[in-house]
Structure 1
C-alpha cells in the first residue's frame, strides 16, 4: 500500500499525565498519553505544578516538520491519578465509550409516569399474564431482558416460552432516544458500574421483566416434544406477569430441592430437563464448549473497594437459560431471513484460519495429544478427549487456549454477505434477539420480526441494506470497545485488590512460553501475569528458547506449557500511569533466578511487634 497524502488526521483528545520540564519556570512540558502507541505531546501551560499527579486530557494541534513531538493544548483535568472515579473516566474515554448523561432531547421521548398498559395495548397483544413465567439472572441484576416458562400440553408435549422485554415499543425509529441508543450500541458493564444504552426508567423499570408487575414482551413460543424436538414455533407480542425474579443459585436450589413442587419450580425442572437434551444435541453437531477465566469481585459496600477476588462459578441454571436464549435467537434469525432475505440483521462467527491453531496444536503435542481442527465438530471431539492422568485442570487450560484461537463474532446484513455460518455454535444462521435492553442489534431484530408477523409497520432505513450494513459496522466497533473497557476495568480493580494485599504466593500454570518469559495463569483469581527472566538490575541467566516445542530453558531448567509453578504476585506502582501486576518465580527453585516466598501479612505483623 502506497500513502500518497493525508486528507484528514484522526486526532482525538488523549488522556494521560504531564511530566514537568526540569527547567525552572518553564511553560513548555511533555504530556505522556495513557495509550502507549501515541507519541508524547508538547504543550504550553502555566498551571503545570497544579496538573502534576493529575490525569488530564490534551488535544494535538499539529506536528511541525522538524520536531520530535507534536504540539498540543491542555483540554481539561480528569482528577487525581489512581483515584477510582478518575481511572474509570480515563478508561471510558480511552475506549470511546459514550457515557455522558442522557440529553433532555433523549429524555423527552420517555413515557410519562405513572405508566400503565392500556386497553389499546391489550387489544393487539396476547394476554399471557396467567402463565408461570420467571426470570433467572446474576445477583443484583436490574435490567432483566428475558423470562421463561414451561408447561405441559394435553397432547403430552410441552410448551416453552422465551419472553423478551419489548423495548422497541418504547423506542420508536428515528427519534432522539433511538439515535442515541444506535450510537451507544450496547450497555457497558464495568466492575461496580453500568453505563446504560437506554435511560434507566426503561432499563431498570418499564422494560425490565421484574416479578409481580405487568410488562410488555415479545414472546417466542415453541411446542416441544419429549426428545426436545420443535413441533411448531410462533412469535407474538404479549403481556406477561413474571411470578419470580431468581438468581442462578436460587433457581438451582429450587430444582434440586425435592420438597419444592410449586408451579415455578415445576416449570424450572421442565426447562432444565429439555435444556440438557438441547445442549447434548448442539454439542453432537459440533458446538464448542470453550473456557475463559471470568473474575468476580466482592466489593466492600461502603468503600466500594474490591475485598475479594475469585473466578465465577457457573451453575446448571446458567446453561439452562443459555440454551433457550440460543434457541430463540436461531428461531428468530430463520424467521427474519425468510421474510427479509436482503436486510436481516444477523450475527456470524467465521471459522479461524488453520494457522490460528498452531499454538493449540503445539500445546497438545507437548502432552502427546492430537487436536483435530479441520471442523468445529472435530475440534470439539478432540477437546473432549484431551485428558492427562493426574492433571484434571489440563482440559480447562486447553479450552482457554482454544478460545484464544477463535475469530471475533460480528453483526452483518444478510444482503451484503453470503457466509452466515456461526462456527462456535455450529449453527447455519444466528442473530441476537434476547437482550434488547442492553444491545441495539436486538432492537433492530425486534423491529424486523414485528414487521414479519404484522405487529408493527416498517420504515425505509429498516429495509435499506447499505444503511443496515453501516449500522452493523458501528455495533461491531462499540461491542469491541465495550469488551476492551470491561477488561481494563477488571485489570484496574485487580490492581486495587493487590495494592491492599501486599505480596501473595500462589500456584499457577504456564499458558505461554516466550523468548525471555513465561505467562502464568493463576486459576484461583482467573489472573494472568508474566514472569520475566531478564532484569535490568541483575545479570541475565542463560536462556535457550525452542520455538517448535515451545519451551524455554533457564539455567538448565526447562519450562513447558501447562507446567505447574509457584509465584509471588505484587503490584508494581513505580509508573503511576501504567501500574502492573508483577509475578516472580518461587518454585521451581533456580539459583539466582527464583525468589523466596513472601511471608503472610499476619505472620509479618507478629514479627514487627
Structure 2
C-alpha cells in the first residue's frame, strides 16, 4: 500500500539532518506518520541500535526525492503501476494499522513506491511507520446507510480526524438491521482495517461501550479517545523484588502514592541540613522490563475526579516505592547545607534508605504555619513514629516555611512568574458515587513550602545530569509566550484602564502584583478575586506549554531556558511514581553518580520519548478536564439548574464568555438562547461591548444591560436534551442567585496538591 502526497519540486525537498521528521497526511489518506532519518554517518553509527529497536531492517542510509541514496536508486524506488496492474502488496500484517493483530503491529514497514502525479510536483512514498501516533480507532455510533443496505453499516466517529467506516454486517450486532432504533444511543469502539478511498475507510467494531448518558460509559469513551491505557497490570509487570525495604511527608490528605519526603536538621554552626528524598523507582523499574515498557507508553498517571489510572503497578506506586510512614524505603536524595534564609552553600546527591516518621497532609502543615506559637495537640497531627514528638515536627515545618518564603522571594526578584488557576473538584457519595458538592483547589503556604524545595531539587539535578550527559539529558523547558496573542491581551486590558508590561516574565508578574494590591484596596474581596482570575486566564492563553526535550537535539543553551521559572536549566526529578520523564532522569543521575551504567540511546530516540511524554501529559490534562465537566453535568442532572455569580471575560458579536469563580470554570453564553429583544455589538478603543435589551415580562419592564470585560452577571447551568451535557444561560439583571439548585453550595475549600498545578 502507498500514500502519495505532494512534496514540491524534488530538488527542494530534503530530510532534516539528525532529526525526527513528521509528515501529517490528511484528507482521506493517512494521518500521523513518522519517518526517522539522520545523515548517512549518523544512521551508520546508530544502525545496530536502530536494528534492535525496529522490528524490520531499517533502510540506511536513506534519501528520498532528490535521488540522494547511498546505494542504487533502484533499490529504493519503483515505477508506479499502471491502472491495469495489481496494486502493490502491503508489507503490513492483516488487521488495523497499529493494532494488536500481529507481533510487530506497533512499528509497520511499508513497501517503498515513488509516484509521478499527473500534475505539479512529485509524490513521495511512506517508507516506514516508526511509531503510529493515532491509535486508528475511535468512539462513535452505528447507523444504517441511506440506501438501507443490509450488507454493511456506517460507523460515525466522534473524532473528526477519523473517517466514517464501512462495517461488515457480520461484525454488527445480530439484530442491528432488524431493530436499528435499539442502538440509536449506543456507543461503540471501532478500528480502521483498511483505507483506500477518500470518503470511507473499512473497519470493524471492537467494543460495545454502552448507552450515552451514563457517566461510566462517557468517561470510558473519553479515555479511549485520548489513548489512555486503562488495562490492569498483570503478574508479568511486577519486577522480582527483594523483601520489603523500605524524615516526613506532606501530601494531599487522601494521597496513597507518596513519592517525596523532606528532612531538616540544625547544625552546630546554626545552619541547616535539608534533604529532599524521592522514591527510588528506578531501583525496581529496570529498563526494558514489562512494567517499564508499559510505563514508557503511558508516560504519566491520569488523575480523574473519582479515580487515578496509575503509570505503575499499584504494588510499586502504593507500596514498595511509596514513602509510607514507619517503613524503611529506598530513596534518591538531594541534601543541602543552607542558611536560615535558604541560601545553598553545599549539596550532595545519592541513594539512601529513609524511614518517614509521619504522613502529614497539607492541612496539618497549614495549621502549624498559621499557629506558629502553639504546639499542635494530639488531635492536630497523625501518629508519629521513631521517637519524634509533635514539637519536633512543628519546629521543622516552621523552619522550612521560613526558608521557602525567602527562596520564593528571590525567585520572584529574578523574574519568576506564577499564573495560578484554581481547579474544580467534587465531593462524592462514596469512592465512585454521585457528586454531592463541589469546591476549588487553592494554593496555601503549605503547598508553597513543598513546591520551593521540589523546584530546588529539580534545578540541582538538571545541572548535575547535564554536566555528565550533555547530549542525553532529559530536561524541561518553557519557551516565551506567543507575542501576538500576548500583545492582544495587553491591549484589551489597556482598553479598560489596566496596564500590563509583557516584556519579560518578571514584568508580567510585577504588573499582576500591582493590580492585585490595587483591587484588594478598592473592591470587595470576592470581586477582586474574580477580576484577578479573569486577568490570569487572559494572560494564560498565549502561554506555550512547558515541554520535555533531549539536550542533544538543541544546539543553543539559551533554548533550554524555562520562561515561567526564569531559570536556565530545569527538569523533573521529584515524581517518578507518576511521571516517566522523572524515571529517565533518575537513571541518568544514577549513571552520573556511577551507581550503575546507562544504556545510551541516540539523542533522536530520547527525543522521541520526550515528545511522547509531552503528548501523553496533554492527553492526561484533557481527560481530567473532560471528567470534571462530565461530573458537573451529572450534578446538574441530579440537582436541577444551578445558579452561580459569574464575571464576563470575553465578548463576541453573538456570544460572551464568563468565568464562574466558585467553580473555577469558564463557559460560553449564546445570545440567541436569552430572552432579549435586541442586541447591539460595538468596539471602542479595542474593547468589545454588547448592549442587550431584555424583553419585558409580566412583572418586569424591559431593561438594557451592557456586557463588557469584568461585567458581573448571574448564570444558570441547565441540563440539555443531550445526556450528560449542560448549557450556560445568563439571567436578566437583578435575578437572584438563589433558586433551583441553590441548596447545592460549594463545600469547604481544600489545599491543592502542588505538583498538579505547577512545575514542581
TM-score (norm 2): 0.71
Match 1:456 to one of 588, 596, 599: 596
Determine if contact 1:135/1:144 at 8 Å carries over to the other structure: yes
Determine if contact 2:681/2:688 at 8 Å carries over to the other structure: no
Larger deviation: 46-55 or 423-432? 46-55
Do the aligned partners of residues 307 and 214 (structure 1) sit closer, same or farther apart at CA in structure 2, a change above 3 Å counting?
A: same
String of CA shifts for 1:406-444, please: whole Å, max 9, x gaps. Answer: 101000111111211000111111000000011111111
Equivalent position of 1:592 in the other structure: none
Equivalent position of 1:57 in the other structure: 189
Counterpart secondary structure, 2:406: helix
Match 1:135 to one of 249, 263, 282: 249
CA distance in 2, matches of 1:141, 1:602: 31
Match 2:607 to one of 464, 469, 473: 469
Counterpart secondary structure, 1:460: coil
Q: How does 1:575-586 map to 2 (within 5 A)?
A: 575-576=722-723, 579-586=724-731
Equivalent position of 2:335 in the other structure: 221
String of CA shifts for 1:342-382, please: whole Å, max 9, x gaps. Answer: 11110000001211213421342133121111111111111
Q: How does 1:515-530 map to 2 (within 5 A)?
A: 515-530=653-668
CA distance in 2, matches of 1:477, 1:296: 24
CA distance in 2, matches of 1:587, 1:5: 60
CA distance in 2, matches of 1:503, 1:277: 46
CA distance in 1, matches of 2:329, 2:627: 33
Counterpart secondary structure, 1:173: coil
Q: How does 1:212-361 map to 2 (within 5 A)?
A: 212-257=326-371, 258-260=374-376, 262-301=391-430, 304-361=433-490
Determine if contact 2:375/2:394 at 8 Å carries over to the other structure: no
CA distance in 2, matches of 1:600, 1:51: 34
Q: How does 1:436-515 map to 2 (within 5 A)?
A: 436-461=576-601, 464-515=602-653
* Deviation at residue 302 of structure 1 after TM alignment: 6.6
Determine if contact 2:422/2:442 at 8 Å carries over to the other structure: no
Match 1:412 to one of 534, 549, 565: 549
The question of 1:14 aligning with 2:151 is answered no
Match 1:111 to one of 206, 222, 241: 241
Larger deviation: 260-269 or 543-552? 543-552
Do the aligned partners of residues 445 and 596 (structure 1) sit closer, same or farther apart at CA in structure 2, a change above 3 Å counting?
A: closer
Higher relative contact order (CA 8 A, sep 6+): 1
Match 1:87 to one of 204, 218, 227: 218
Equivalent position of 1:129 in the other structure: none
* Deviation at residue 531 of structure 1 after TM alignment: 0.9
Counterpart secondary structure, 1:499: helix
CA distance in 2, matches of 1:87, 1:188: 16
Q: How does 1:533-544 map to 2 (within 5 A)?
A: 533-535=671-673, 541-544=678-681
Determine if contact 2:245/2:327 at 8 Å carries over to the other structure: no
Determine if contact 1:51/1:77 at 8 Å carries over to the other structure: no
Q: How does 1:151-162 map to 2 (within 5 A)?
A: 151-162=265-276
* Deviation at residue 59 of structure 1 after TM alignment: 2.6
Do the aligned partners of residues 587 and 37 (structure 1) sit closer, same or farther apart at CA in structure 2, a change above 3 Å counting?
A: farther
Supply the RMSD in Å over aligned alpha carbons.
2.7
Larger deviation: 322-331 or 403-412? 403-412
Counterpart secondary structure, 2:528: coil
* Structure with greater Cα Rg: 2
Equivalent position of 1:124 in the other structure: none
* Structure 2, unpaired ranges of 5+: 8-122, 377-389, 694-703, 744-760
CA distance in 2, matches of 1:285, 1:86: 48
Determine if contact 1:507/1:522 at 8 Å carries over to the other structure: yes
The question of 1:47 aligning with 2:175 is answered yes
* Deviation at residue 571 of structure 1 after TM alignment: 2.1
Do the aligned partners of residues 223 and 467 (structure 1) sit closer, same or farther apart at CA in structure 2, a change above 3 Å counting?
A: same
* Deviation at residue 510 of structure 1 after TM alignment: 1.0
Determine if contact 1:533/1:540 at 8 Å carries over to the other structure: no
Counterpart secondary structure, 1:297: strand
Determine if contact 2:6/2:124 at 8 Å carries over to the other structure: no
CA distance in 2, matches of 1:448, 1:525: 41
TM-score (norm 1): 0.88
* Structure 1, unpaired ranges of 5+: 118-132, 590-594, 604-609
The question of 1:164 aligning with 2:278 is answered yes
Counterpart secondary structure, 1:542: strand
Determine if contact 2:641/2:717 at 8 Å carries over to the other structure: yes
CA distance in 2, matches of 1:377, 1:404: 18
* Deviation at residue 553 of structure 1 after TM alignment: 3.3
